[in-house]
Structure 1
Amino acid sequence: MFAKPTRLAFLAALGAAMFSLTACNTPPDRQAFPDITFQHLPPINLDVAHIEIASDYRAADVQNENSADYPETPEKLALDWARDRLKKVGSRGQATYTVVEARAVRVPLPRSSGINAALKTEQSDRYDLSITVRLEAGNPLSGKSGTVTETVTRSQTVPENMTLNQREAVLFNMLDAAMKDLNARLEASIPQYLAPLVR
């Protein structure tokens, strides 16, 4: 005659079963991305006594805004650029660096239905990224002033069978490319349009 299982053995078996179910639902490990930074580059010296860094962008006002899906938000990185590159070296005057837009949007794409949907892999979403910044600077001592505005954009579609990690990699690459483009544009336009204020 078989002995009845003890309460302890029953709880142990139940715990093992629950652990097994939990393990099946464990999400994939999130991949780590390198920091996007410009601290390694030389500063852009401005003949001003104060630099204000601010953002006018309001993500909450944008439909399908998905900046939180990026490893770092475009708005934060656009602000970080100014902190990394701009340096005040004057005794008078002010520069104001403003993030005008840092729009990141996920656009669902139309897909086939019925038998056609089962026969092919389609593009499910398009990710659009647009960053605009403005730098205004002036020094009353020299009477010089100027403004620089730069915009960079990126757009990428992704297939419906892409994994979460693959999507995150796409977003990181878009953001990294956009910030490198923005950096290159500002490096060229600041000396051109703010030449009397660059030291």
Structure 2
Amino acid sequence: MKSRKISAALLVMAVSLGGLTACDSPPNRQRFADVTFQHLAPINLDVGSVQVESAYRPTDNPEDMGAEYPQAPVEAAAQWARDRLKAVGARGQANFTVVEASATRTPLPRSTGLSAALKKDQSDRYDLAIEVRLEAFNPISGKSGVVSERVTRSQTVPEDLTLNQREVVLFNLLDSAMKDLNARLEQSIPQYLGPLLR
């Protein structure tokens, strides 16, 4: 009889613990669309091919957070070239290189003592920097040119930021940086690669 009571008690504990575990499920993760530029007209280049590559390699810095973005910044920068640059010539080549796509977190000074209990601090600063380089050459016409552009974005965040809120901040940082990069390239490509545009 005693063993039955012990078994029943253990069963109740197991069910209770199972219920607690179920309540401790992770929050629903948001889904973000990739930052793309397929909706814009292609930039036609008088070259035979367009090569897209990355020269950027993430560091071992523990504050590097590129992998935490909904879309890796280096991938977003490369996607811009795939979406917008189009080879329409017979000869020559354009090389689009992602020079930098660094995304870091910098801890900020926090309040201590009574002031820490009375206010919410900005706990971290997120920094994003994207730099790209476009080189193009047509051996038939002898025309060539080089374009380089760099954009940066920064955002401080509060100490009570949730995982979903952080992902929104990171997505907005990347989205605004890529829109800025697109606008700058739309201006500089005609300026420095004008003879190679069709």
Indicate whether the TM-score tops 0.5.
Answer: yes
Whole-angstrom distance in 2 between the partners of 1:87 and 1:128 = 31
Moved over 4 A (4+): 9-12
Q: Which residue of 1 aligns with 2:174?
A: 175
Most deviating of 25-34 and 71-80: 25-34
- Which amino acid is the alignment partner of residue 77 of structure 2? A
Gaps of 5+ in 1: none
Whole-angstrom distance in 1 between the partners of 2:90 and 2:47 = 6
Pair 1:130-2:129 in alignment: yes
Q: Normalised by the size of structure 2, how large is the TM-score?
A: 0.93
Whole-angstrom distance in 2 between the partners of 1:61 and 1:151 = 23
Q: Which residue of 1 aligns with 2:190?
A: 191
SS in 1 for 2:153: strand
Q: Which residue of 1 aligns with 2:23?
A: 24
Whole-angstrom distance in 2 between the partners of 1:151 and 1:3 = 73
Percent of matched pairs sharing the same residue: 63
Whole-angstrom distance in 2 between the partners of 1:136 and 1:26 = 50
1:187 shift after superposition? 1.2
CA RMSD of superposed structures (Å): 1.9
Whole-angstrom distance in 1 between the partners of 2:112 and 2:6 = 54
Whole-angstrom distance in 2 between the partners of 1:122 and 1:55 = 37
Q: Which residue of 2 aligns with 1:57?
A: 56
Q: Which residue of 2 aligns with 1:142?
A: 141
The Cα offsets for residues 122-176 of structure 1, whole Å up to 9 and x where unpaired, read as 0000000000000000111101100000111100000101111111111111111
- Which amino acid is the alignment partner of residue 13 of structure 1? V
Q: Normalised by the size of structure 1, how large is the TM-score?
A: 0.92
Q: Which residue of 2 aligns with 1:39?
A: 38
